[in-house]
Structure 1
Amino acid sequence: MRIPAKPEEIVEVYADESSQNKHRYLVLGAIVVHLLDTPELIDAIKKARLPELPQGEAKWAKVSKAKLAAYRRMVDVVFDNQHKWHFHSLFVDTTQQDHKKFNDGDSEIGFNKELYQLANKVRQLYSKAYFHLYPDYRDTRSLPEDLRQILCHGARKRGDTRDWPVRRCQFRDSKRTIPLQVSDILIGAIAYQLNGHDKAADANPAKVELAKYIMKRAGIADITKGTARAAKFSVWPRKLRK
């Protein structure tokens, strides 16, 4: 019989992704926060949005000059509290993906593998926790429960002694889920630089500035090189099989 995890043992993982189809680099990232600290994170983000963003969904696609200060304050909440709230991400070069060879010709399988890799990394980094995984809702044939089962079985094969370390995996709507909105902003900045949008002639000045600000706060000089694996703001350049 599975023993319920104590609230203080549960870590919540709010995972989002950049556009899968339009750009070379696919980025997945997640805000990672202990369950008991989630209300504080949400309250801090809500306060940071004011007065420029009193309502509506905050997301990378909506970054503008008029709202730039609010977006900076939102990411500051994460960077100023890295003893509580972390961010982990990975990116892959989609031109190197061979869906025919490795994914039965299905790009969705390829995407699910990357979500698995990100979630598995988080599982390894927080070796004593149990997890609630909340990917942003997307139109897919795959069930979140399937991912939960795969993560738990994979953990057991690797010698993880936790009893079903991923206790919950459910889609969440980013319009109503504040931590997912922060994930979207952070991965948006990473993807913006990786895909060279910041160098385009018609680059959005507010996005260019915000992306630079996020990289400066993260201490990242060259996003293509990633970061240390266990950094509190981590970026993992995933190398794919050939």
Structure 2
Amino acid sequence: MPLVTIWGDESCQNGHRYMVLGTIWQNPVCAADLERDIQNVKRQHRFDKEFHWTEMKGHQFEAYKGLVDVFLKYMSQGLLKFRALVVDQSDKKHKIYSSDEELHFYKMYFWLIYKRLTYRNRYDIFLDRKSNSVPGRLSDLKNALNNKLFNDYFHEIIGIGNANIVRRVEPRDGAQVELQLADVFAGAIAHVRNGHFNPNPGKNNAKSRLILYIQNQLEISLPDCHPPYSNPGFNIWCFRRK
């Protein structure tokens, strides 16, 4: 069965109104070519660091543009997709269902990922490494995703004889280029959502300039919310409790 690799990172979890969870959904056949293309961008622009939104400097703007161009190349081929969840942390209704901030964080990851899973695929999920106060959060996420899929698609899953739709959920250290893409796009959305974006940036405002570049190249508006199943290449879903 087809394998999909999901890479996840977050932006503005603490101290901001809006938290953004960002995920790159990858057909792993492109992994080596993606790594090669991003390394070429880094050599071309003499950029010897990792791509991270919070660390972006003005003189690195062209390298970050190159990163966006590489994503667009593979998105256009259907090999990469970006899907984000925007969470308003000032919404007190979230606390009704989970007073534990850490558990709430993983519940948001659950909904972002689950809404787009299909029992016809297999999934490996890699989330940026973070310290958890409760051990086993990642295995709990894996089990919750598989259990929900099994309950919702019982007859179909029994028919294919394999209930392990999500094969693994594991931490990674952030050095992987897919996690860097998730970091940059989630950071850009959070930058807009939390009121830091300047639509008329000067030359030294690299982050706002990159946001404009992302919007122009991908033909998308970062402040907008999308229905969960629209904009399949670059979807921004704003989570709301019913």
**Shorter-chain TM-score category?**
0.7 to 0.9
Measured after TM superposition, the shift of residue 179 of structure 1 is 0.8
Using the alignment, how far apart are the partners of 1:25 and 1:114 within structure 2? 13
Distance 1:193 1:224 in 2: 10
State the distance in 2 between where 1:59 and 1:150 align: 30
Secondary structure in structure 2 of the residue aligned to 1:45: helix
SS in 2 for 1:80: helix
What are the equivalent positions in structure 2 for 1:7-46 lying under 5 Å apart? Answer: 9-46=2-39
Displacement, 1:64?
A: 1.7
Quick one: which of 89, 93, 103 aligns to 2:88? 93
Pick aligned residue for 2:106 from 101, 112, 115: 112
Cα drift, residue 74 of structure 1: 0.6
Q: Establish whether residue 128 from structure 1 lines up as the match of residue 126 from structure 2.
A: no
Aligned to 1:123, the other structure's residue is in SS state coil
**Identity within the alignment, %:** 27
Q: State the Cα deviation string for residues 121-171 of structure 1 (Å, max 9, x = none).
A: 2314xx521000001001112521111111000111111634211001100
**8 Å Cα contact 1:12-1:32 kept in structure 2:** yes
Amino acid at match of 1:150: A
Residue-pair matches, total: 230
Shift of 1:99: 4.9
1:140-179 map, 5 Å: 140=132, 141-143=134-136, 144-159=138-153, 161-162=156-157, 163-174=163-174, 176-179=175-178
Aligned counterpart, 1:70: 63
3-state SS of paired residue (1:239): coil
RMSD: 2.3
Distance 1:171 1:80 in 2: 27
- Displacement of 1:23 in angstroms is 1.0
Gap runs ≥5 in structure 2:
158-162
Q: Secondary structure at the match of 2:187?
A: helix
Normalised by the size of structure 1, how large is the TM-score? 0.87
Q: Is the 8 A contact 2:9 2:182 kept in 1?
A: yes
Q: Is the 8 A contact 2:197 2:208 kept in 1?
A: yes
